[in-house]
Structure 1
Amino acid sequence: MSEAKVPGYSSDERAPLPPPRDLLIRAEDRVRLQEESARHPWNPRSEIHGYMLGRRAGLARVGVNLLRVPPGKESFAFHRHLREEEFAFVLSGKGVVDVGDETFEIGPGDFLGFPAGSHPHNLRNTGREDLVYLSGGENRNAEIAEFPRDGKVMVRVGRDVTVYPRAAGEPFWPRHGGAEGSDDVGPHEG
């Protein structure tokens, strides 16, 4: 395995690079790979199948997945990421996406982008064929995700994941006697 050498980079820490042939995943090779399947434990309608393409190609900071959701099923649980961006590009099939309080029909060629901290979302297959899409997003070392319909918050640091009931939270900073409706103020604000 060769090492990455970045011009002008003085650190002795160099990430090992995979061989060039491992950076390309051809369609004919992908069909021979074992398709992975998952269901979200909080959503009994969740059923998703696919390939973690980014991981297979050695990507560590970005996840790229080719996913399919069978008819009548959902991708995940209604959620939003507070630190990581996420996207989906529909390749085939039809469905709907719940984004915040709104629902939109989706089909081939539609792109969904979810900046960090944006509206909660989830995909549902309402068609008669699999809903197939390319999904991707950041893989930060630490992430917080909210699941508003389930009343839960997930905190991930590295590979450690902890789930908290949303109602169990309490404000970290006490409210100041400011104007009605003012937000909590941190140590470097106000």
Structure 2
Amino acid sequence: MAETPAPPAAKPLLTAAEIAEMPEVHIRHPFNPKSDIYLRSLAPAAGLTRVSLTLGRVPPGQESFVYHSHERDEEFLYILSGRGRAEIGAEVFEVGAGDFMGFPAPGGPPHHLTNPFEEDLVYLMGGERSGFDVGHFPRLGKRILFGPGGIQAYDDKDAQQLSFADFLAKE
């Protein structure tokens, strides 16, 4: 029986050449048919376990994920190259190299990034890695739970609102 090779040792320095050689993970968000993003996960390669840091690339004419907000994990985006459109709350902004966006949790505005332009949109995406988060998709009426047991999606219409009184014994 062949042994699974050990993952490469974490390195505190990742050179530009090493990052360019890292495999890209091709992602398409299941709630958005226009989602088309390529990711290189930097944090684990550097040995970081409490934060998430990913290099993202959205090709021309594509979108990142889907309009969303987070309940627990704060998130940020820093544009490295290219241009895009950032939808933040009810506003749309053109963004480019050097622009930074920060989304606190809870209560940060829903957001979404698209690339309607002719060159790749490349950015750093990072934030907390709490081990449990709730993603809200207000336009879709859905939520996703990210936790130790995996990723689970729910329709808001199926949620049942409970209060503490619902748990009190009725004698």
TM-based fold match above 0.5: yes
153-162 vs 22-31, which moves further: 153-162
The gaps in structure 2 that reach 5 residues or longer are 1-7, 166-171
Give the deviation of 1:170 after TM superposition.
2.4
Higher RCO, Cα 8 Å, sep 6+: 2
Instruction: Tell me which structure has the larger Cα radius of gyration.
Output: 1
Consecutive aligned runs of 4 or more in structure 1 exceeding 2 Å deviation: none
Q: In the alignment, which of 136, 157, 169 is matched to residue 167 of structure 1?
A: 157
For 1:1-190, list aligned pairs within 5 A.
Answer: 22-117=11-106, 118-173=108-163
TM-score scaled by structure 1?
0.77
RMSD: 2.0
TM-score scaled by structure 2?
0.86
32-41 vs 88-97, which moves further: 32-41
Q: Deviations over 1:92-133 (max 9, x none)?
A: 111111112211111111000000121111100121100111
Task: State the percentage of identical aligned residues.
Answer: 43
Q: Which amino acid aligns with 1:109?
A: G
Give distance in 1, aligned partners of 2:119 and 2:149: 35
